[in-house]
Amino acid sequence: MTNSEIIQTYFKTFFNGRAKHSTVREFLTDDFVFTDPLMTANSADEYIDQLVSMGDEFELYATVRKLVAGGDVVAALVEFSGPDGPMTYSQWFTLRDGKIARLEVVYDPRPFLDRGEGR
């Protein structure tokens, strides 16, 4: 499977209805690193624990508008729809040995900060 196909499968698994946080773990290296404007994690288990603490009861949907791959990096421009409504953001994945080793999510956090959801 190519890196692009791995990421497409990741999106189909994670963003296709009810949150499936524990299922996403199989896509991640043990030393996986996650960053976004409001959250960081320095291992796959830490990342999954943070996601699970948010709950599995809400629905997540994402449409990948554009996927660009080069070497070990895959970038996705994403239209996300979740409990707080639609949002456009980018995800930058670094893959190693067929798994996601790093994920950096880039978006404008102001709507979340305005509601007091920031760290």
Q: What is the pLDDT of residue 29?
A: 98
pLDDT tens track for 1-31: 999 999 999 988 887 777 667 788 999 999 9
Q: What is the pLDDT of residue 90?
A: 96
CATH of the domain at 73: 3.10.450.50
Own/partner pairs for 111-114, CB < 8 Å, 24+ apart?
111/84, 111/87, 112/38, 112/84
Q: What is the pLDDT of residue 96?
A: 98
Residue numbers of the domain that contains 62 = 3-114
* Contact indicator for 93, 103 with CB cutoff of 8 Å: yes
pLDDT tens track for 62-82: 889 999 999 999 999 999 876
pLDDT tens track for 82-114: 666 778 999 999 999 999 999 999 988 777 667
CA separation for the pair 73, 63 (Å, rounded):
19
Q: How confident is the model at residue 119 (pLDDT cuts 50, 70, 90)?
A: very low
Total of domains in the chain:
1
What are 66's two structure tokens?
A: 């554009």
Q: What is the pLDDT of residue 17?
A: 72
pLDDT over 60 (residue 117):
no
Position 119 in a domain: no
3-state secondary structure of 2: coil
Position 52 in a domain: yes
Task: Output the CA–CA distances (angstroms, integers) from residue 98 to 20, 50, 73, in the order listed.
Answer: 20, 23, 12
Position 30 in a domain: yes
pLDDT tens track for 30-58: 999 999 998 899 999 999 888 888 766 56
